[in-house]
Structure 1
Amino acid sequence: MPLSVLSLMILSALAHQKSDAATAGLSENVLPEITVHVAKISTSAQKKKELEKLSGATNYIAKESLQSVIKSNNADLFENQPGIYAASSGNEGVKLSIRGSGINRAPGAHASGLYVTLDDIPFTGPGGTPYELLEPLWVDHVEVLRGANGLERGGLSLGGTINYATPIGKDAAKLQLHHEMGSRGYQKSAISSGQQIGDLDYFISLTYGENNGYQDHSSSQSKGIATNVGYQVYDNVDTRFYLRYRETDHQTPGRLTQKQIQEDPTQAVASNIDLNNHRPQPGSLWLANKTNVNLENGDLLQLALAYHHYPMDLQEGYYNTDVDYDDVSTLINYKFQREFWAKESQNTIGFRTTTHLPAGTVIERQRVNIGNYPAGTETRHYTYQGGDYVLHASNALALNSQLWLDSRLALAYTHRESEVTWPVQSEKENNREWNLLPSLGVRYQYTLDTQLFANISRSLEAPHPWSLIWGSDHYFVDQGPATGRQSAPTHLNTQTANTIELGGRGQSLVGAWNVAYYYAKVKNELLAVEIATDPKQIIAESNASDTVHQGVEIGLDSPLWQNDALGKLNLKQSYTYNDFHYKNDAVFHNNELAGIPKHIYQAELRYQHPLGFYAGLNTIYASKAPTDYANSFYVDSWQTWGATLGYTQPEKSYLAWLDFRNISDKKYASTITPGYNDNGNDPARMTPGDGFGVYAGLTYNFH
């Protein structure tokens, strides 16, 4: 039986007494020599131990588990992780949700309901989380703090916080070559280098990717660079500079009905082909610095500053939207440990901000001739503004050696602003508000191998500034090419939720386990709802009536068999139950919220040989799911199977893997974009999952 994860996190010492003939006659007062051997704790074990200090559910995705999987998009990073829904639409615009956060978002949109950081530095902005800089090849490990635990890092969202950590020089190979290739022209390459030179270390990675795509008209290309340089300024001061830059472009094939997916999932919407719909993101840039100051009394002061530039040239539909975002983020954290009432007390006081810089006007143009107006005609101008400013504090108090009380409090100021500036100036929608978000939790170390936890918390999600325009029911009338386009922003309330969570984690005879149950009462949830029926039906993003999000998240990693000479057999499983529904809505009563399956099960059975060879069999199951809030139509449940083969050289100089995906070539809907009421019809709002494919990867390290 393998050692438990928890036991690997505990320092062990072995003392032994030396004796020989030369010391036999020494006085009894002379003490024998003692040699102490301290077991080295891996980085993964340290990170897991830190997450176990939180009174709620977490995920840690180690770099070791990422080395032997395809890394085409973010959905690949979160496979077989309880509580995390990550579904690919065939490109990098993954639909990512935790506990129903951002459930109404379409894949490809800026993500909602999650607070994302890069190397603990704020990345999510008032307009959501763009995806093009979240290159999986630049990930060393991922930390996920589900739900209320995200407040520990300043996250306010229902779904919690995700931190993507970049490799650094001291842990990287001097030169690494990586290449992936596979079905439908998939290619992805990276060359990276990192090392430590005295007080300085560096890491740099260049990436390139291309893919023809599963659907027609779904090809994509990308290229980018990520680098960081760290320097030990003084014994107690270190600083690190970060840069990420990436260009992406992918065609958008459009969404299909379930019938179309069953008949031919590779087809694209004809108008998308005719219009050559695609999404260029011509060059996103993220620059940041993080400095740590270790004070003489053991306290830690952390300072960070980041600049994020992310332009988009949306060539989709009859109109082209040219958007140019600029965000500036700051971070101040002060961490200290004291005694409170003669009890150990661990504390953090933090302040983080992300502000949209005053930007140029968003310009919308026709892509085709419409009426008497030729392609290229400007239709309207509008602006977005916004900011998030969060002061937060947390305290972990040891009531005794087994019981901890975790208290957190955040004061948040959010700003969302939008207006149409041409052809007619609209009134400005300017939402500014303060919110207080408390969280109280307990964690109890029942035994050395079992920890229990509970918490109660409050979360919020302010609307994106762009949704104030696109959710509006105000339209231009008799304004030339602008006729029928939104003429003014609308008001949207901030979504809030009160959540309770119960759960635990540990080791048992069946392996490493974790389980969590949560129940959230949500007010003003940002959903697609009917906001007008006369003179015409208007359906757009708006605030829904009261909703409930509850669920169960279970993870189990079981060692089934082990032999020192022959290897080991392991079964890893995750199950997520998603119950998201209205609460006594006037129209939809207690209907399910559309967009995410209620049941998701994932498993992998893997054999590992001591010489480095491994083989695995995996499966994913998703239950049927409604396409609309009326629950008038459901997409079918589905299950896919896959297999992996690979080899990791014992000194880790190189590794290779072969991945067989969707072996049975199952036809299924991977993502759903929710609708209001489909009246029992099969709507064209699904994206197909990829069919059978074979992929291979090779990594070579020069140390």
Structure 2
Amino acid sequence: MHSVSWGESHQLARAIRLATLGLGSALMLANTAHADDATTPQLKTVTVEVKKQTPVQAAKSQLDEVPGGTSVVDSEDVAKGRTATLQDTLAYQPGVFVQSTGGTDAAKISIRGSGANTSPGYFREGIKFLFDGLPITGPGGTPYELLGGAGVNYTEILRGANAFQYGALSLGGAINFVNQTGYTAPGLRVRAETGSYGYNKQSASYGGVEGPLDYYINVDNYRNDGYRDYSLAKSQGVVANFGYQINPNLKTELLLRYRDEFHDDPSPTTLSQVLHHPSQASATAASSGAGSRRPGSLWAGSKTTYTFDDDSTLAVGFTYYKYNHHNSPNSPTNPSYWEWTDLSALLDYERSDELLGHQTRSSLSFTTTDHIRGQVDSTFANKASRKFVDYNGSFDRVFALGNDLELTDGLWLTSGLSAINVKRDVDVKSSLVANTSEYPGSVDYNNWSLAPRLGLRYELTPQLQVFANVSRSIDPPADWEYSGSGPTQPYVRPLVEQKANTVEFGIKGSSGPFDGSLTLYRSWLRDELLNVQLIAATSTAAAVTGAFNASPTIHQGIEAGLNTQLWQGANGDKVNYRQVYTYSDFHYRHDATFGDNQLPGIPKHVYQGELQYQQPSGFYTGVNVQSSSRTAVDYANTFYAPSYTIYGANVGYEAPSKKWKVSLDLKNLTDKKYVTAVQPAYNVQGQDTAALYPGDGIGAYVGVEYRY
């Protein structure tokens, strides 16, 4: 049975009201005419039909009810080309900056400047990641080995406070991966991809429905030798989902993910190297043993949903996440071993009512993620400990109360209040280096903060709306930021949450041949977690810099996306043009050292465009472009990665039966030498420094998929 979302039911009710009024008026006229002329023909029956939506369409309809920037990525669209990393999944998304380095999942990703200080290869910060609404993100941030998109049906992107429904208070909002099920991916699917620089990926899945049980299992294997020397990446994984409809009102789901991963790290290099020898690793990458080993990460989630007779719902969920990271395990001097186990719980109640004849929907939720085990051991090559840090007991807990109220026909008021309890328990248990700094060797930080939100949306038409909102975001520091992972920093930094007040307004929807969104926002940040000088330089030691709460900053920008149907032939041929533009102005607000300097790591301007021709028979082909402005490398703004423009193309065919498809994806057609990502530095004094990651050269990637 097809369930109708709140937004669908609202639009359906309006359609029925209009149809009823129209039918009533027509009947009155018909009766009058009948009195004058008994031969007047009878009116024909008027039928109102609701077409069943796909899960992707239903998700988009639901997110259209959020008064702010949201979007949905259909995995079927991504599968028209290469599906290597998160960069492929999140391409053409306004406000989302994502660049992969070395062909691994360790991409640099930022929404609205979130986690701008974080380099590729670190845990993701400033965005909450989830699977089916159950959290991946914990007090340590988000490990990246599960973010490759395996077994995902579609991906929801909710920018900033628009991610309220998932208990996300981060500046960047949330990214929710919705898994395939036996209903959405029945039968056998086999897919293989191969391409330049030793790229190979194979996957196989099987799903189905047996009475009240639905099931889906996916296995995959990935290997990429990489464009640069010393950039081998390989991994294997399993995704499994099981659902059971206990009775018409009660359903439970079990979700499992496992991944084993290894990758070398060619490390950042200089601009001179990028422009003249981009495929070479940094001078010390191999000798230092840079790289990472993930010897089996396990994420297990369970969600049970009960639907009451009045259509209100109660959802209860739990997740268990165990992830061990061996960073630079082959280092001759400083390998480190990170061991984490998180336990999360979710309680969410939602109901719809009428208030004085107007629709209203309320929600009450609680989410918590606790480190039941967290530790980092920096060692010598023989694994003898140099510094051991314990993070056990750290947690993030969020209580949220929200409401959507229809003020008048088409005008909605959204309100909400979240309370977050942040606890960071960090203790340097042992260190061979004495703590001579002003900072302590342990901290037990426990604090409550409130985050309100208020928004309005008005439906100009059923398909087009304008919106505005004000909100507060709260980003707790990752617990590992309190103590540097290196063995020479035996102290704990006194960090507090990063907070921001944001104003956002825009328009989204469709009209005629156009479908898109335009959002403008401005955030006033305090205590942003940036790279600052912790300890000044001395005559015998260099300055120590690291994550710390900075002076006030501003994040403001424009997020624009537009899909346009340029032409449609008589036989159904189409020419579409999709384009995305993101303007990102992130800068200090009168900092004592850096004035109003731009924050490094994120370019101000990014544009993506794709022109595609598609036949109803299944053939498609297109060309695309990506252009980026220069990017500041250091906080002093003395050195920049240059701007670039790269071109690509694709061609493919999907059989009308949907049983098989083949694609060819061409990247960087002009073999442009460019910088794809930056490792932010404090002050390089205008010198070319090893803080840049080269983008891949020209490449070709073939994908073949078969369904049975």
TM-score clears 0.5? yes
Match of 1:661 in 2: 667
When residues 173 and 564 of structure 1 are mapped into structure 2, their CA distance, relative to the original with a 3 A threshold, is farther
Contact 1:471 1:541 in 2 (8 A): no
CA drift at 1:531: 2.1
CA drift at 1:34: 7.4
Q: Distance in 2 between matches of 1:404 and 1:188?
A: 46
Q: Distance in 2 between matches of 1:32 and 1:634?
A: 70
CA drift at 1:135: 2.6
Deviations, residues 659-689 of structure 1 (Å, cap 9, x unaligned): 0100000001100011111101111111111
1:442 aligns with 2:456: yes
- 1:324-335 to structure 2, matched below 5 A, reads 324-335=339-350
Of 318, 334, 346 in structure 2, the residue corresponding to residue 319 of structure 1 is: 334
Deviations, residues 553-598 of structure 1 (Å, cap 9, x unaligned): 0000000000132611000000000000000011111000000000
Contact 1:494 1:524 in 2 (8 A): yes
Q: Distance in 2 between matches of 1:464 and 1:598?
A: 26
1:553 aligns with 2:559: yes
Q: Distance in 1 between matches of 2:605 and 2:347?
A: 40
Contact 1:564 1:610 in 2 (8 A): no
Match of 2:32 in 1: none
Residue type of the alignment partner of 2:272? K
CA drift at 1:626: 0.7
1:176 aligns with 2:183: no
Match of 1:371 in 2: none
Of 244, 247, 262 in structure 2, the residue corresponding to residue 231 of structure 1 is: 244
- 1:27-42 to structure 2, matched below 5 A, reads 37-42=49-54
Q: Which moved more, 1:316-325 or 1:645-654?
A: 316-325
Contact 1:471 1:490 in 2 (8 A): no
Match of 1:84 in 2: 96
Residue type of the alignment partner of 1:389? R
SS of 1:192 mapped into structure 2: strand
Match of 1:677 in 2: 683
When residues 630 and 296 of structure 1 are mapped into structure 2, their CA distance, relative to the original with a 3 A threshold, is same
1:394 aligns with 2:409: no
- 1:47-196 to structure 2, matched below 5 A, reads 47-90=59-102, 91-196=104-209
CA drift at 1:8: 14
Contact 1:305 1:330 in 2 (8 A): yes
Q: Distance in 1 between matches of 2:578 and 2:560?
A: 11
- 1:200-279 to structure 2, matched below 5 A, reads 200-279=213-292
1:622 aligns with 2:635: no
Q: Distance in 1 between matches of 2:209 and 2:570?
A: 36
Q: Which moved more, 1:150-159 or 1:657-666?
A: 150-159
Q: Distance in 2 between matches of 1:129 and 1:211?
A: 23
Q: Distance in 2 between matches of 1:277 and 1:450?
A: 50
SS of 2:126 mapped into structure 1: coil
CA drift at 1:37: 4.8
Contact 2:342 2:373 in 1 (8 A): no
For the aligned residue pairs, the C-alpha RMSD in angstroms reads: 2.3
Q: Distance in 1 between matches of 2:537 and 2:564?
A: 58
Q: Distance in 2 between matches of 1:451 and 1:279?
A: 46
Match of 2:516 in 1: 513
Q: Distance in 2 between matches of 1:50 and 1:658?
A: 34
Normalising by the residue count of structure 1, what TM-score does the alignment of the two structures yield? 0.92
Match of 1:487 in 2: 490
Contact 2:75 2:89 in 1 (8 A): no
Residue type of the alignment partner of 1:87? Q
Q: Distance in 1 between matches of 2:388 and 2:109?
A: 31
Contact 1:471 1:540 in 2 (8 A): no
1:379 aligns with 2:386: yes
Residue type of the alignment partner of 2:676? S
Among all aligned residue pairs of Structure 1 and Structure 2, give the percentage whose two residues are the same amino acid.
36
SS of 1:632 mapped into structure 2: coil
Of 366, 380, 388 in structure 2, the residue corresponding to residue 366 of structure 1 is: 380
Q: Which moved more, 1:271-280 or 1:664-673?
A: 271-280
Match of 2:470 in 1: 456
Q: Distance in 2 between matches of 1:565 and 1:447?
A: 30
SS of 1:137 mapped into structure 2: coil
- 1:336-351 to structure 2, matched below 5 A, reads 336-351=351-366
Q: Distance in 1 between matches of 2:560 and 2:44?
A: 51
Q: Distance in 2 between matches of 1:263 and 1:353?
A: 49
1:532 aligns with 2:540: no
Deviations, residues 229-280 of structure 1 (Å, cap 9, x unaligned): 1000011000010110000000011111111100110001232212332200
Match of 2:412 in 1: 404
Contact 1:332 1:351 in 2 (8 A): yes
Match of 2:30 in 1: none
Match of 1:308 in 2: 321
Q: Distance in 2 between matches of 1:595 and 1:678?
A: 14
CA drift at 1:395: 0.2
CA drift at 1:364: 1.7
CA drift at 1:534: 4.3
CA drift at 1:489: 1.2
Normalising by the residue count of structure 2, what TM-score does the alignment of the two structures yield? 0.91
Deviations, residues 467-500 of structure 1 (Å, cap 9, x unaligned): 111189xxxxxxxxx6xx1222121121100000
1:603 aligns with 2:615: no
CA drift at 1:645: 0.3
1:692 aligns with 2:698: yes
Residue type of the alignment partner of 1:619? V
Q: Distance in 2 between matches of 1:32 and 1:639?
A: 59
Q: Distance in 2 between matches of 1:281 and 1:291?
A: 30
1:647 aligns with 2:659: no
Unpaired runs of 5+ residues, structure 1, are 1-5, 17-27, 368-374, 473-481
Unpaired runs of 5+ residues, structure 2, are 1-6, 24-39, 435-439
Contact 1:152 1:408 in 2 (8 A): no
Residue type of the alignment partner of 1:463? P
SS of 2:335 mapped into structure 1: strand
Deviations, residues 76-104 of structure 1 (Å, cap 9, x unaligned): 10111111111111221011110000001
Contact 1:221 1:248 in 2 (8 A): yes
Report runs of 4+ in structure 1 exceeding 3 Å deviation: 6-16, 30-38, 423-427
